[in-house]
Amino acid sequence: MDDIQLMRLSPKLLTFFWLLCLVIGCLSPCAGGHPHHFPHVRSVTEVPSNGCDNSSTTSNCEAYALSLNMNLSADPCVEFDEYACGRFYKEAKYSPGETSITSFSIAQSKVMDFVSDMLREDVKPTDYSYQSLPKVYFKSCLNEVAVEGVVMVEVVVVVVVVVVVVVVVVVVVVVVVVVVVVVVEVVEVVAVVVVVLVVVVVVVVKVVVVVVVVVVVLVVAVVVVLIVVSVFVLMIFAHHTPGELTLSDFQGERNSTVLTAYETYSRELAIELGAEPSVAAEDAKTFVDMQQELLKDVVEGSDLLQQIFETTLEDLYANANCTWLGVPQTITTLFGLTSVTLKTDERVVTFDKKNFKRLGDIKAILETKSER
């Protein structure tokens, strides 16, 4: 009976194993599954024309890598976007007469073109391999063009300290005045004996009282001025918390304070990662300009926004090596995600500002990878 049942199960088992092998073959890294829908963006899983797949030789893969001006430490079966995210500033030379551009800018351009086409052609996020492109922004360096740190907290701390000091001074003054008045009364009782001394003490007391009154008035005036200035500063900065970029910022003027600060941050980041200052300045400007143009397409494709924003950050980092702004996973890991806020029309990621000093460490890591 057991042999008969086993014979009956064999076709089912064979069918199951054939299906399992088929699924594994479709999902393998270089097997060509889930290709992108746009010809100018090569899929992560697309098989190159030179045969760079699981069965290809090392020489073929190396030749393919060299043809794309890639570092040999990169996996030639991974698309150029992801490689550029791992190697920010390796210049890609173009033909004579053309301007040289960094691989960082190439990655930005390719990713943004892809998202723009996705929105224009109504391609659902589940139709392509990355499956997650929420709006992720850097925490901008606003210290060059705005108040350092969180303005509201600093102003409140200053006001509280000043008020406490004023209260202590007033209490001390009141105690001194009471003591002086008591002393004056006692002195007046014995004034017959020490008339001259009493006169001197009374004069001194009057002078002290006048000085104390003047000091109290000055302190109160300073407190009032500080409060007025604090309120004025809060009125200026309360509408926008330093350190966040929003959709409304990119829809505003290009020369706004926030976008200028974002461009400044991008330039400093590029310089830290090895770019020449002139190249970094041009790249930073182009970088912000491209994002502003891209967001116009995002707004036009508003029917897809809800689907895109439903993607969690965990899905983003699990399914892609870089965000749609081209931020490599290496940098997001080293900076350390500190807070995420989901608002009505945006998803904002902020990074701990104290970790900006670790850009040198990131640069060293990238250089180490390039030497392997």
Taking CA 42 as the corner, what is the angle to CA 39 and CA 46, rounded to the nearest 5 degrees?
Answer: 110
**What are the distances in angstroms from CA 236 to CA 51, 136, 151, 153, 185?**
60, 26, 10, 14, 54
For residue 301 the two structure tokens come to: 């494709």
Residue 125 in this model has a pLDDT that exceeds 70: no
Residue 203 pLDDT: 74
Going by C-alpha positions, the residue among 327, 325, 274 that lies closest to residue 109 is 325
Q: How confident is the model at residue 149 (pLDDT cuts 50, 70, 90)?
A: very low
pTM here?
0.27
Q: How confident is the model at residue 318 (pLDDT cuts 50, 70, 90)?
A: very low
Residue 172 pLDDT: 78
- 99-126: average pLDDT: 47
For residue 253 the two structure tokens come to: 């003027």
Residue 277 pLDDT: 79
Q: What pLDDT, in 10s, does the model give residues 279-312?
A: 778 777 877 777 676 666 555 544 444 454 444 4
Q: 371 - beta bridge partners?
A: none
Residue 355 DSSP code: G
Going by C-alpha positions, the residue among 173, 119, 159, 126 that lies closest to residue 305 is 119
- 140-147: average pLDDT: 28
Backbone angles phi and psi of 141, in degrees to 5: -85, 100
CA 78 to CA 80: how far, in whole Å?
7
Q: What pLDDT, in 10s, does the model give residues 194-215?
A: 566 666 777 777 777 777 777 7
Residue 213 pLDDT: 78
Please name the residues in contact with 36: beta carbons below 8 A apart, sequence gap of 6 or more.
Answer: 42, 43, 46, 114, 128, 129
Taking CA 311 as the corner, what is the angle to CA 243 and CA 43, rounded to the nearest 5 degrees?
Answer: 105
CA 173 to CA 170: how far, in whole Å?
5
Please name the residues in contact with 292: beta carbons below 8 A apart, sequence gap of 6 or more.
Answer: 250, 254, 259
Tell me if 92 sits within 8 A of 101, measured CB to CB: yes
**What are the distances in angstroms from CA 35 to CA 20, 51, 93, 106?**
21, 16, 28, 20
DSSP 3-state assignment of 74? coil
Residue 302 pLDDT: 46
Supply the mean pLDDT for the chain: 50
- Answer with the residue of higher pLDDT: 86 or 20: 20
Task: Write out the DSSP string of 42-70.
Answer: --TTPPPTT--STT--HHHHHHHHHHTT-
Q: How large is the angle between the packed helices 257-272 and 359-371, nearest 10 degrees?
A: 40
Lowest mean per-residue pLDDT among 118-132, 134-148, 203-217, 224-238 = 134-148
CA 114 to CA 109: how far, in whole Å?
9
Q: How confident is the model at residue 77 (pLDDT cuts 50, 70, 90)?
A: very low
Please name the residues in contact with 303: beta carbons below 8 A apart, sequence gap of 6 or more.
Answer: 122
Residue 113 pLDDT: 54
Residue 347 in this model has a pLDDT that exceeds 50: no
- Answer with the residue of higher pLDDT: 209 or 368: 209
- Percent of the chain at pLDDT exceeding 70: 17
> Hey, what amino acid is at 199?
V
Alpha helices in 92-194 (DSSP H): 103-120, 151-189
